[in-house]
Structure 1
């Protein structure tokens, strides 16, 4: 199949450019961007001046298979991703049971084949995500694991971690950590401070994140492993990250879109859809994280999609499950940063598409000849009010319910095949 996108606003994060032009797709790959006329027989798609960008590569998505399929299945996650312009989902291993054996990884890989988008899998770093014994990293890598993480189950035994990191380095594997001191953060519901005290909620200092990051960076320095911090959300953590990069350590960092666009005050009157891990931070931390993304210190923006059913959210704030869905809201929420003048569209897609693809060694995330035609067509200025019950995800736990948003996905393509079309283009 040959597609010709005309009258597009091409967003290329690899070159950092945003230019009017056309794009040709042939046999699932980008064939050219500089031609002026459609070849004979090509299907012409008039973009009408809307934005055409590389599809989003979303690292750290929780899908409830196995064990919690009622919260999210591969099929529903695939539909949600396509509706959000996410063409590659990188799934977390914090399932029931955890993805810690090649057999379980093969099971999820087969189940993921029914999704509308590409789904890659991370595997657990330690067995059962319990931090006591490392998994069979080599076998899991051979079975298709693209990275290794225990997600938010932070190991306390540095000796176990050092062995796992050393083995991962020998295999060239990527380790993804969740920087947090588990002792300080245990039982915390919000970030410590005046707001937490006024609400009478147990809080954790942002320094818990810095302490966890400093420990992980010391292990990275000792072992030489490739390491990605899944969420850097506090200003206190940024100097340590900057020093590690300046020292030449193989370190990258990400942040969720929720921590870039919301702050601790949004919790309001105990609104559990705003309960996240780590908790929402102060406005000064949010602004510092946004600036770090603009500067390239934080490399990746992700949804940290974590579905939770109504029963686990409609509880007192301390007891409610943490996490929010984000596959469909990732792009419109992130566009708030563009409309605020904090990021350009090219900078945004550097963090949404190019950098996560590079981190995982994928060819996606760029608009260049030979790259996979994983694309999102969107109108960055289209306004709408989010209705959580209209989301494709099985779970509806979004903090943006009822929020006025700006930026709609119009169509999503995976390998040149259209997997989503908006009903109201």
Structure 2
């Protein structure tokens, strides 16, 4: 593996420094480093971050390769600056056994654009009735630490308690899709003024908040870890803030689209805006941004949910829920959080690399940009401005809500253990 000298980058947005990569490891960080036989990357003005880590990615393989595969999904991740993603369990077959999670893990290793850490299902078949093989998945080659029925809520309190007790034995975490099913039957969008005007079934905020309240109490009772997926309401923020004030081991994520988009966009009836949990109000968006800034919300997770054209290009009621997000996540965070002054680049590294890696207990990722650390790195041209064109996406799907929208920032280079996966904005 050749040496690489990144010259003049703003490490975590600070003063310009040089970073020397040698053999997959950061060999030196400083000023005036000499190149020798290293390949030089001129990075003046660009921001160097640790490789991004996504706690919530749908790679669809096995079973829905028409939407995405491990190969195409990890290529999209690399383009977005990610060096590791957590692959959610709602595949076909469901990732509820050691065999399935090992298959996903091995596919990630074979393709090599980023590390793939499988998320195991909490219950068999995501049916919410019987615990899946949590211990076997943890003990497998994949070493699963995160378990989720994402796409469905573990709504049975007894099953949730048992899952929390089980993962406590090895330091795992249950990641909950907080959606009380009885309160969201037939739901099509956020319940509020817009849903009433459009005549669409409403998804009330309390359906999320009631599950979160129950689960933080259960986690505290058991003494286990609970992680809240794609938190979306101001009320949910307050519950998580309260739980953290008690010292309970509760973490939460927010998606880029919930930091930017509101339910007003549903007036277009464009199914690209149909997502679960739904786009909420402007007040919710502002509360989520504030909570990410003050650390109540721990991290940004994409909830990258690819769908083929036919599943989105149809009437609203029949359309699938979800948006792709890996290739635009960092730009949306820059737009909503950095350019607004709510976060600096060091805090972006914390929310998009350090904390998600820590929550997922992911070795080798979310590490400082310093000597001796693995060279999992992302170089960003923060001055760039451009329109989102999904025709150029690496993902197999194109269901982005940002088509034609101007967003800031562009990942120019991504390195996975010192090997370039993206150079000058293009996949290697």
**TM-score normalised according to structure 1 size:** 0.95
The answer for the alignment partner of 1:364 in structure 2 is 365
* SS of residue in 2 equivalent to 1:268: helix
- Equivalent positions of 1:200-215 (< 5 A) are 200-215=199-214
- Give yes or no for contact 1:125–1:137 (8 Å, CA) kept in 2: yes
Partner of residue 75 from structure 1, selected from 47, 71, 74: 71
Alpha-carbon offset, residue 261 of structure 1: 1.1
**1:35 Cα deviation after fit:** 4.5
1:72 CA displacement = 0.2
SS at match of 2:14: strand
Contact (CA 8 Å) 2:415, 2:421: kept in 1 or not? Answer: yes
Give the 3-state SS of the residue equivalent to 2:165 in structure 1. helix
Counterpart residue number, 1:103: 99
| Aligned twin of 2:188 | 189
Equivalent pair of 1:364/1:371 in contact (CA under 8 Å):
no
Could you report, residue by residue, the CA deviation over 1:207-252 in whole angstroms, capped at 9, with x for unpaired residues? 2111010111121012111111112111111221112112111111
Secondary structure of the corresponding residue to residue 384 of structure 2: strand
Greater CA deviation, 186-195 or 361-370? 361-370
What does residue range 108-257 of structure 1 map to in structure 2 within 5 Å? Answer: 108-112=104-108, 113-143=110-140, 144-257=143-256
Query: Following the alignment from structure 1 to structure 2, what is the Cα–Cα distance between the partners of residues 170 and 300?
Result: 25
The offset of 1:369, in angstroms, is 2.3
Mapped partners of 2:370, 2:154: distance in 1: 41
Aligned-residue offset at 1:39: 5.2
SS of equivalent to 1:381: strand
Aligned twin of 2:8: 7
TM-score normalised according to structure 2 size = 0.95
Q: Does 1:416 align with 2:414?
A: no
- Give the unaligned 5+ runs of structure 2: none
Counterparts of 2:104 and 2:115, CA distance in 1 = 13
Indicate if the aligned counterparts of 2:413 and 2:425 stay in contact, CA closer than 8 A: no
Q: CA RMSD in A?
A: 1.6
| CA distance in structure 2 between the aligned counterparts of 1:49 and 1:159, rounded to whole angstroms | 53
Distance in 2 (alpha carbons) for counterparts of 1:385 and 1:254: 26
Map 1:322-341; keep pairs closer than 5 Å. 322-337=321-336, 338-341=338-341
Query: Per the alignment, do residues 172 and 423 of structure 1 end up closer, same or farther by CA in structure 2, a change over 3 Å counting?
Result: closer
CA distance in 1, matches of 2:311, 2:96: 25
Query: 2:112 and 2:269 mapped to 1: Cα distance?
Result: 35
1:151 deviates by 0.6
Deviation at 1:363, TM superposition (A): 3.3
Task: Check the 8 A contact 1:179/1:213 in 2, yes or no.
Answer: yes
Aligned to 2:279: 280
Shift in Å at residue 22 of structure 1? 1.3
Q: In structure 1, what is the equivalent of residue 45 of structure 2?
A: 49
The CA distance in 2 between the partners of 1:350 and 1:292, in whole Å, is 14
